């Protein structure tokens, strides 16, 4: 329980307010008591900076939250993750316990800022801004918790004693009402993107971040109301409309756009020049002792960790590889590489013929791709190739990680629009759409803009994605190839499967509403795999988590008759409907008798 009551506020030196400044690049001071702190705006700002710093924790936004298997990711057969691999986990699972405890520690930090800045508002300029930032971050944290665990303790005041910890679970309705209230308060008092006079900095929560997360919250509420046939807060129709409208505000503002080359959203080498165009809110990993993030060590290109390779305890499922159509090569190769970094710095794997025989002892030219043991990685946050190998320390690597980006907002809008109108709307060729989305109208427009960006490649480095060659030499010659390169969705046409078969026909769709409703989750998977816990949450809110994991046993003719290296009984056999909620940690129930357990655990 120590993590619940320890004061965790990293205090640092204030820096200027440039829009892309690293406001967390500061030397932490000693922990100070609130009695001699919060004397002025600088103190409030430093306290809020510490709250942002804690968001980079591995169990708050980092790799520790992404350990449970979905249909896209699976754990290595040598790393069960306390049952997360095969859905045999219980209330004593350490990952789940840490997710709960570290989220509540972060909430305690937010409550400390809210309570103390409010108390000393007479001597803190712009005090509402810092309260608003803390409430926005708190809303994000509770949105995680309520999606994972259902009813959770709703703690809204700073925890100062053990007595404050004996809190019962609040109904989801109450938690969601608070989340919505917090995001709305934050939206009223934080800055718009670019408004540095009122405190905007890249990495701080902004008005658009609040709008985007409100869209996400209402999409969840609408989906769950549809799934369960009962409301949490408002009807499905009301929430789909709110989700669509909040997303539309962000899209039509013109403040964001899709980065032209998909890998540049996630690349440490382009996090200053490109990512801020698309990323609405992120956590920032710094380079230095205990300030980096390890997500790239889980979701990167597997191989030598000292050369930029990642660990191989989590890999891509074979099913994930199957959801990319043949022309969607940039996203597939970046998100799902079937290659690894060798100890000599070379790449060995199936993705390009030039890498087949870089291991003399295992020449892939003498093997067959089907049923070969070489696994796919989730390569999205890869570090290889490194810009500087001499100073690299994999434990202290400064990589940012998006919590919300423009592509996600476009896909939220598309899904909600289809539900509100019971139709994807009118089709406009994506060749007429701009990457900032200001002329997006229909659900087709929004999803096709995301697919349009996937047609842009990098000619530098011989067009080999894994070389990640800079400076970029972008090839936009296929950007308007709307019929044959990552083709536009339109009436009775929703792209192709990995083998090139038309999906509308192959899946026996009979109307566009149903086809769009189903396929939008696959588009979200292709675009957002490995980001936050979106895939697990998408499957849960639609009520198809069990079905999705059981689909691992379907025929995947590209590579094998079923999901490889998942011998029964495993996740497909063990998963149950109660897994749509995670268990309340046993250690928390032991310490707080007011807590109850979720069904099934």
pLDDT at 570: 92
- Decide: helix, strand or coil at residue 593: coil
Report the C-alpha dihedral over residues 502, 507, 509, 515, rounded to 10 degrees: -80
Q: What is the pLDDT of residue 66?
A: 93
Cα–Cα nearest to 370, from 548, 562, 570, 551: 562
**Is-contact 319 557, C-beta < 8 A?**
no
Contact 201, 133 (CB under 8 A): no
Mean pLDDT of 118-144: 98
pLDDT of residue 481: 98
Range(s) of the domain holding residue 93: 37-160+172-190+573-600
Q: Look at residue 21 and tell me whether its pLDDT is greater than 70.
A: no
CB contact at 8 A, 27 and 12: yes
Q: Residue 449: which H helix or E strand, with range?
A: helix 443-453
**Shared-domain flag, residues 281 and 154:** no
- Answer yes or no: is pLDDT of 14 > 50: no
Residue 588: pLDDT over 90:
yes
Q: How many CB atoms lie within 10 A of CB 27?
A: 9
Q: Are residues 476 and 515 in the same domain?
A: yes
DSSP lists the bridge partners of residue 349 as 339
Is residue 84 domain-shared with residue 233, that is, in the same domain? no
In a domain, 67, yes or no: yes
Q: Considering only CA atoms, which of 528, 20, 57 is closest in space to residue 285?
A: 57
pLDDT-based confidence at 29, cuts 50/70/90?
very low
Please indicate, yes or no, if residue 221 is contained in any of the structural domains: yes
pLDDT at residue 170, as a whole number: 98
- Per-residue pLDDT tens for 257-292? 999 999 999 999 999 999 999 999 999 887 766 666
Residue-level pLDDT at 1: 37
8 pLDDT more than 60: no
Q: What is the DSSP secondary-structure string of 131-182?
A: HHHHHHHHHHHHHHHHHHHSSB----S---SGGGG--PPBPHHHHHHHHHHH
The model's pLDDT over 381-393, given as tens digits with 9 standing for 90+, comes to 999 999 888 889 8
Looking at the fold, whether 127 and 216 belong to one and the same domain comes out as no
Q: Is residue 383 part of a domain?
A: yes
Determine the Cα–Cα distance for residues 38 and 50; give it in Å rounded to an integer: 13
| Residue 240 resides in a domain | yes
pLDDT of residue 260: 98
Domain-located, residue 304: yes
Question: Does 163 score more than 90 pLDDT?
Answer: no
349 to 335, 355, 364, 508: CA distances (angstroms):
15, 5, 8, 36
Of 138-142, 398-402, 576-580, 587-591, the one with minimum mean pLDDT is 398-402
Do 184 and 245 fall within a single domain?
no
Beta bridge partners of 402: 282
Say if residue 235 is in the same domain as residue 281. yes
Give φ, ψ of 600 to 5 degrees.
95, -15
Least confident range from 40-49, 365-374, 442-451: namely 365-374
Looking at residue 22, its pLDDT comes to 58
Tell me what the mean pLDDT of segment 193-219 comes to: 97
**CATH number for 522:** 1.25.40.10
Q: At what angle do helices 41-54 and 127-149 cross, to 10 degrees?
A: 20
Average pLDDT on 112-127 reads 97
Residues 184 and 212 in one domain: no
- Residues 536-556 have pLDDT tens digits of 999 999 999 999 999 988 877
| Residues 520, 480 share a domain | yes
Are 181 and 220 in the same domain? no
pLDDT band at 331 (very low <50, low <70, confident <90, very high): very high
Query: Residue 394 to residues 66, 211, 306: CA-CA distances in angstroms?
Result: 19, 35, 7
Question: Any idea which of 26-35, 84-93, 171-180, 517-526 has the lowest mean pLDDT?
Answer: 26-35
Q: How far is residue 95's CA from residue 63's CA, in Å, rounded to a whole number?
A: 10
The whole-number pLDDT of residue 164 equals: 67
Q: Tell how strand 73-75 and strand 314-316 pair up.
A: antiparallel
- Taking the C-alpha atoms of residue 212 and residue 223, their distance in angstroms, rounded to an integer, is 17
List 496's β-bridge partners, or say none: 502
Distances (CA, A) of 74 to 32, 87, 170, 272, 507: 43, 11, 33, 32, 25
Q: What is the CATH number of the domain that holds 591?
A: 1.25.40.890
Residues 6+ apart with CB under 8 A from 390: none
* Claim to verify: residue 334 and residue 439 sit in the same structural domain: yes
Residue 25: what pLDDT? Answer: 58
Compute the distance between CA of residue 133 and CA of residue 128 in angstroms, rounded to an integer. Answer: 9
pLDDT for res 576: 97
Give the pLDDT score at 35: 61
Do 463 and 582 have their domain in common? Answer: no
SS3 per residue for 322-369: HCCCCCCHHHHHHHCCCEEECCCCCEEECCCHHHCCCCCCCCHHHCCC
Residue 220 predicted with pLDDT over 50: yes
Lowest mean pLDDT among 2-6, 189-193, 452-456, 553-557: 2-6
556 in a structural domain: no
User: What percent of the chain clears pLDDT 90, i.e. is strictly above it?
Assistant: 81
Count of alpha carbons within 13 angstroms of residue 198, beta-carbon side: 16
Residue 385 tokens read as 């190739």
For residue 264, the SS3 value is helix
Helix (H, G, I), strand (E, B) or coil at 204: strand
User: Using CB atoms within 10 A of its CB, is residue 218 exposed (0-12), middle (13-18) or buried (19+)?
Assistant: buried
pLDDT greater than 70 at residue 30: no
Q: What is the reported pLDDT for 48?
A: 96
For residue 400, give both structure tokens: 């940012």
- Cβ–Cβ under 8 Å, residues 204 and 23: yes
Residue 211 and residue 185 share a domain: no
CA distance 498 to 500: 6
Contact 304, 314 (CB under 8 A): no
Give the H/E segment covering residue 23.
none
Would 141 be classed as within a structural domain?
yes
Tell me what the mean pLDDT of segment 81-96 comes to: 96
Average pLDDT over every residue of 341-359: 96
Mean pLDDT for all residues in the chain: 91
Classify burial at 353, counting beta carbons within 10 Å of its beta carbon; exposed 0-12, middle 13-18, buried 19 or more: exposed
Which residues on neighbouring strands pair with residue 315, listed in sequence order? 74
Using the predicted structure, report yes or no on whether residue 13 has a pLDDT greater than 60: no
At residue 563, the pLDDT reads 83
Listed in sequence order, the residues at least 6 apart from 501 whose beta carbon sits closer than 8 Å to its beta carbon are none
pLDDT over threshold 90, residue 499: no
pLDDT for the residue numbered 165: 73
Q: Give pLDDT tens digits for 404-416.
A: 999 999 999 999 9
User: In the chain, how many domains are there?
Assistant: 2
Convert the pLDDT of each residue in 36-85 to its tens digit: 789 999 999 999 999 999 999 999 999 999 999 999 999 988 889 999 99
Q: What is the pLDDT of residue 532?
A: 93
Residue 549 in any domain: the answer is no
Backbone angles phi, psi at 582, to 5 degrees: -85, 160
N residues, the chain = 601
């Amino acid at each position: 329980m120590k993590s619940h009551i320890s004061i965790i506020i990293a205090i640092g030196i204030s820096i200027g307010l440039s829009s892309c400044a690293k406001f967390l690049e500061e030397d932490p001071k000693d922990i100070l008591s609130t009695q001699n702190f919060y004397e002025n705006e600088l103190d409030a700002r430093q306290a809020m900076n510490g709250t942002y710093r804690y968001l980079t924790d591995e169990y708050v936004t980092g790799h520790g939250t992404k350990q449970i298997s979905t249909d896209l990711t699976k754990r290595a057969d040598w790393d069960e993750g306390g049952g997360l691999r095969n859905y045999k986990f219980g209330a004593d699972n350490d990952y789940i316990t840490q997710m709960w405890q570290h989220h509540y520690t972060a909430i305690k930090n937010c409550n400390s800022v809210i309570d103390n800045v409010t108390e000393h508002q007479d001597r803190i300029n712009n005090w509402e801004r810092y309260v608003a930032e803390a409430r926005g971050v708190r809303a994000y944290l509770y949105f995680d918790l309520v999606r994972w665990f259902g009813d959770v303790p709703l703690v809204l005041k700073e925890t100062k004693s053990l007595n404050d910890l004996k809190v019962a679970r609040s109904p989801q309705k109450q938690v969601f009402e608070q989340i919505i209230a917090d995001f709305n308060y934050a939206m009223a008092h934080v800055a718009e993107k670019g408004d540095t006079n009122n405190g905007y900095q890249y990495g701080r929560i902004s008005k658009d971040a609040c709008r985007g997360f409100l869209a996400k919250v209402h999409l969840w509420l609408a989906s769950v109301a549809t799934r369960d046939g009962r409301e949490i807060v408002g009807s499905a129709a009301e929430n789909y409309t709110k989700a669509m409208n909040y997303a539309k505000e962000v899209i039509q503002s013109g403040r964001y756009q899709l980065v032209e080359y998909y890998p540049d959203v996630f690349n440490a080498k382009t996090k200053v020049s490109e990512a801020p165009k698309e990323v609405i809110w992120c956590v920032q990993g710094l380079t230095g002792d205990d300030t980096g993030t390890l997500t790239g060590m889980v979701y990167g290109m597997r191989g030598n960790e000292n050369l930029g390779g990642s660990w191989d305890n989590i890999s891509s499922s074979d099913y994930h590889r199957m959801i990319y159509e043949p022309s969607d090569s940039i996203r597939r190769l970046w998100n799902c590489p079937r290659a690894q970094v060798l100890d000599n710095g070379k790449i060995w794997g199936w993705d390009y013929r030039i890498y087949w025989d870089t291991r003399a002892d295992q020449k892939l030219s003498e093997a067959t791709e089907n049923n070969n043991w070489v696994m796919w990685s989730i390569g999205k946050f890869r570090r290889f190739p490194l810009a500087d190998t001499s100073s690299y320390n994999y434990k202290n690597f400064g990589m940012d990680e998006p919590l919300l980006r423009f592509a996600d907002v476009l896909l939220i809008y598309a899904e909600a629009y289809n539900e509100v109108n019971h139709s994807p709307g009118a089709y406009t060729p994506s060749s007429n759409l701009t990457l900032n989305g200001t002329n997006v109208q229909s659900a087709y427009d929004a999803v096709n803009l995301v697919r349009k960006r996937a047609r842009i490649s990098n000619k530098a480095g011989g067009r080999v994605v894994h070389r990640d060659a800079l400076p970029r030499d972008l090839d936009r010659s296929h950007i308007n190839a709307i019929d044959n390169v990552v083709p536009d969705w339109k009436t009775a046409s929703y792209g192709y499967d990995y083998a090139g078969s038309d999906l509308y026909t192959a899946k026996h769709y009979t109307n566009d509403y149903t086809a769009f409703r189903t396929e939008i989750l696959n588009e979200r998977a292709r675009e957002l795999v490995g980001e936050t816990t979106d895939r697990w949450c998408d499957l849960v809110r639609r009520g198809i988590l069990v079905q999705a994991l059981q689909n691992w046993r379907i025929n995947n003719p590209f590579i094998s008759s079923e999901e490889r290296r998942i011998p029964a009984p495993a996740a497909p056999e063990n998963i149950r409907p109660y897994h749509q909620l995670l268990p309340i940690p046993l250690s928390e129930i032991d310490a707080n008798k007011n807590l109850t357990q979720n069904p099934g655990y």
